[in-house]
Chain A
Amino acid sequence: MKKEILARLVVLVLVSGMGLSALVFRIGDNSGIVEVHAAMPEKGGWLTDSIEAQVGEPLVLSLVSDDVVHSFALGQSDFEPVDVLPGVPTEITLTFDEPGPYTFYCTRWCGADHWRMRGTITVTGDEPFSKDLPDPPLYLQLGIDIDDPHENHDLVLDEQPSALRGSVLGLTTPSEFLTQAYYRSHSPHQVWDELRKVPSTSELSESQIWDVVAWVWAQNTNSTKLAEGEALYQRDCAACHGVDGDGEGIFGAEEISGDGTPHEAGFDGHTIEAPTSFQDAGQMLTASPALLQGKIIRGGMGTGMPSWGLIYTEEQTWNLVDYLWTFQFQKSQE
């Protein structure tokens, strides 16, 4: 009987030893590292999606994906996104200088609902959050209702306007057309209308005036801004709006049936709408940069277009807006 008791003890130790050790090790782990799991939004998204941190104190996150490759990016910061690999924890350390809410999000096209993969890091410190409202974005300052229909489907151009052609027409464009304030608050079509009224354009054909409009647009950006706008577009927008801006991105197509009817999105009775084609002149030439800024900042409110206001800095938003016009206007040579 003594041998049997000894045998039972041996069995107990060998059977439960490994599992119990692992659990004890796990429970006793108080390193303070916050474990963040990533999964496709349909399977839960970020878990946890709400993290708290203190100003000036390092926040160590252990990021691991439970399915496909995701990426962790932090909105309105210079933090370089890191890949979140399946089953392989990746540790990152963040230190915040200012209190406030920070949005983290996925930049990998992990699934049709990829854009819903967001979470918040709430950073507190000795000083409370500033209750002063920031300056409202331009579209609000201008009182633009971004849900008002603005498109003109009759607007069809024979050829794509070219800033280069516009620049060689020798037209002396009145200086008010070239200010940033004017550019951002007017649609290309409004500018075309205004230019048409200028006596010096009376000899120009309609398409030549569109070339001048393209030239005006080119004066308000540069290659650096366009490069950053393109990078943001290809990372965050192309999944739905298409790499070429034609509105036929891989996820946009997934949400829209062959006859163009949107599928039920299955949340709050909203429906997904077909992503805008930036190649559609009727849509784009009737929209001002401020209107596009509003759509990017606020999002489509249930249409499937996410809000980017908490993610992009103001500069990033304008760079992205600048890039969107490249789907309408041939790029000028630098």
Chain B
Amino acid sequence: MLKYNLLQHTWIKTLTTNRWPLLIARAVALGGFVFAILAGIIGTPVGNHNFAIVAVWIAWWAALMLVIVPFLGRSWCAVCPIPMPGEWLQNGAVLGPIQDKNKRKKFRRFPKIFRNIWLQNVAFTLLALFSAVILTRPSVTAWVLLGMILIAAGLSLVYERRAFCRHLCPVGGFIGLYSQLAPVELRVIDTQVCKAHTEKSCYQGSENGFGCPWNIYPGGMISGKSVNTNCGLCMECLRTCDYDNIALNLRAFGADIQPQNKIKLDEAYKAFIMLGSALVYSAVMLGPWGSLKNAAYQVGTLPWFGYAVALLAFTWVLLPVSFYLITQIANRLNPTSQSPRQNFEAYASALLPLGLAAWVAFSFSFVFANISYLWPVLSDPFGWGWNLFQTAGVAWTPIFSSQVPALQVLVLIGGLIWSGNTTQKIAIDRNASRQTWPVMAFIFAVTLLLIWLFVA
């Protein structure tokens, strides 16, 4: 498959291996993060006039779902401010290693039972249950952000590397999974070099840098065999590799979604949680059902408990169980030696394109409607009557309102075709092409439901 190593360009290589550009980007991101927390706590409680809500849930979310994840994969994780304080405390440095690697403090490994993304699935679901409040109340957003940064720092002081990002971050879980679709990857150039290199400095660290903060062995990141899920694109391995054996490749979209790259059960569940929550969010935030919206907002009341139970049942039980039954039917149609769980996991990866398309389409609806809140908020981030950039008076103006439904349908159809194509590849790979149809029917039904929610 065609790849293009961006590190051939000296300026890109300098930009990625030199520690200063990334450090400044991280510090700016952390500064913005702290500013958002401050605005959330002491600024106006009116969400659409508070920097915390507009910058985080409109501007950042738009950038993340419409640009970063689809095109740049996990690159947000490289500058994400949440793990930064903890990582700096863990390393005893903010720039690069200042101690010999053998003298660096040793930290515990994360408990084996949690070395997966189940905790991330739970964390995302918890946020989803309270999302109507988190997305609209600046103070709640601020405390959630502060809580995340404190938890990440606490974990960094006990467990090695980025335990929070790998196993607990509610956002990292889906960014990682959907980054399989992105057209960028970090991979080794020559696997033989890595095999012969006994120091494994990319994992163990060296005087040039820290061992992979993401706790993966970069030497094992092989094009066509490995996936992006756990690589945070922090570029640390570029600095520690003694043989300049790492490439930053441009590649085809979705290059990781190959039949041989199966996803695990926790990741399969993440796919259902994301797809299910996109459906539920669309119904709550875009649908005409006032009582559903009220239930989602009235946290702690009986209607909210009903909403919570419905969301949990839909995302954790109904969707996965339906899909499990579909894969069982597919296996009846065209039997293979695969176990039911293997069938379930294999075909679940086909839901990734549709899941990302659903989130892109959902994001269109509120990002274009609300992005104009950004200009007043930049001038008056706390809602205190400032007018720093003379944009405080810019009126709320939805953009592309008439084009959004068409865009959403186009994106969803794109996701449908991509997921269908992936399904077909998986079925053909196991010599069971007739298995395609039940899975395709499921994907088609979910797409129709999404289109109905967005457009009807």
> B44 to A87, Cβ gap below 8 A?
yes
| Tally of contact residues, B, Cβ under 8 A | 30
> From residue 56 to 76 of chain A, which have CB atoms closer than 8 A to chain B?
62, 64-67
- Interface segment out of the listed B25-33, B57-65, B358-366: B25-33
> B382 to A22, Cβ gap below 8 A?
yes
- Interface segment out of the listed A13-21, A121-129, A216-224, A291-299: A13-21
> A66 to B28, Cβ gap below 8 A?
no
- Interface segment out of the listed B45-53, B285-293, B347-355: B45-53
Known contacts A4-B95, A87-B49: does B385 contact A62 (CB below 8 Å)?
A: yes
B250 interfacial contact with A, CB 8 Å: no
User: In the complex, A91 Cα to B386 Cα: how many Å?
Assistant: 12
B20 contacts which chain A residues (CB < 8 A)?
Answer: 7
B143 interfacial contact with A, CB 8 Å: no
B94 interfacial contact with A, CB 8 Å: yes
User: In the complex, A87 Cα to B384 Cα: how many Å?
Assistant: 8
> A19 to B44, Cβ gap below 8 A?
no
A4 contacts which chain B residues (CB < 8 A)?
Answer: 93-96, 98
For A65-108 the 0/1 string (1 means CB < 8 A from B) is 11100000000000000000011110100000000000000000
User: In the complex, A8 Cα to B28 Cα: how many Å?
Assistant: 13
User: In the complex, A119 Cα to B138 Cα: how many Å?
Assistant: 27
Q: Which of B23, B35, B49, B383 contacts A7 (CB 8 A)?
A: B23
A10 interfacial contact with B, CB 8 Å: yes
A3 interfacial contact with B, CB 8 Å: yes
* Minimal beta-carbon separation of B173 from chain A (angstroms): 26
Q: Which residue of A lies closest to B44 (CB)?
A: A87
> A10 to B98, Cβ gap below 8 A?
no
Interface of chain A: mostly helix, strand, loop or mixed: helix
B24 contacts which chain A residues (CB < 8 A)?
Answer: 10, 14
Known contacts A22-B381, A89-B385: does B28 contact A14 (CB below 8 Å)?
A: yes
User: In the complex, A266 Cα to B385 Cα: how many Å?
Assistant: 36
> A8 to B94, Cβ gap below 8 A?
yes
User: In the complex, A8 Cα to B94 Cα: how many Å?
Assistant: 6
B27 contacts which chain A residues (CB < 8 A)?
Answer: 10-11, 14-15
A86 contacts which chain B residues (CB < 8 A)?
Answer: 44, 46, 48-49
> A19 to B46, Cβ gap below 8 A?
no
> From residue 1 to 42 of chain A, which have CB atoms closer than 8 A to chain B?
1, 3-4, 7-8, 10-11, 14-19, 22-23, 26, 35
Known contacts A7-B23, A89-B385: does B49 contact A18 (CB below 8 Å)?
A: no
> B385 to A17, Cβ gap below 8 A?
no
User: In the complex, A26 Cα to B94 Cα: how many Å?
Assistant: 31
Q: Which of A8, A19, A67 contacts B35 (CB 8 A)?
A: A19
Q: Which residue of A lies closest to B32 (CB)?
A: A18
B34 interfacial contact with A, CB 8 Å: yes
Q: Show 24 residue pairs from A and B whose CB-CB distance is below 8 angstroms, ordered by the A residue.
A: A3-B96, A4-B98, A7-B20, A7-B93, A10-B23, A10-B24, A10-B27, A11-B30, A11-B94, A14-B30, A15-B27, A17-B31, A18-B35, A19-B34, A19-B35, A22-B38, A22-B381, A23-B38, A64-B385, A65-B46, A66-B44, A67-B45, A86-B49, A87-B46
- Give A residues with C-beta under 8 Å from B: 1, 3-4, 7-8, 10-11, 14-19, 22-23, 26, 35, 62, 64-67, 86-89, 91
